């Protein structure tokens, strides 16, 4: 019964956590797009008539991986966690009945 309760609570937590990761990813993408568009609008043309290249440090810091990949990794690691929890519970029961 305890393992079932822990599994349910973990799944609720993992679901809400994945939603929060999606929200933060969307915010990072919005900030990155805003900074990039502001930089493009305020860019001063160089002597050759070209806009300067955007700062790559900002691009690397704010450009998160696609949410689908993060979500898939999150689901896979959560499934492995639940599987490990149940494997430990089944092992515990086997040892108790054998001993």
Helix (H, G, I), strand (E, B) or coil at 66: coil
Check if the beta carbon of residue 18 is closer than 8 Å to that of residue 45: no
CA 69 to chain centre: 8
pTM: 0.66
Q: Are 22 and 71 in contact (CB under 8 A)?
A: yes
Identify the pLDDT of residue 32. Answer: 80
The pLDDT, as a whole number, for residue 77 is 96
Mean pLDDT, consecutive 10-residue stretches, the chain (99 aa), reads: 93 94 87 74 55 61 79 95 95 88
Q: Where are the domains of the chain?
A: 2-98
Per-residue pLDDT at 38: 66
């Amino acid at each position: 019964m305890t393992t079932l309760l822990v599994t349910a609570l973990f799944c609720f937590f993992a679901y809400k956590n994945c939603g929060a990761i999606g929200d933060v990813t969307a915010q990072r993408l919005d900030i990155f797009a805003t900074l990039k568009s502001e930089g493009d609008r305020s860019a001063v043309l160089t002597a050759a008539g070209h806009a300067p290249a955007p700062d790559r440090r900002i691009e690397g810091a704010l450009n998160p991986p696609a949410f689908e990949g993060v979500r898939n990794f999150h689901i896979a690691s959560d499934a492995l966690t639940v599987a490990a929890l149940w494997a430990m519970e089944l092992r515990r029961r086997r040892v108790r009945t054998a001993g």
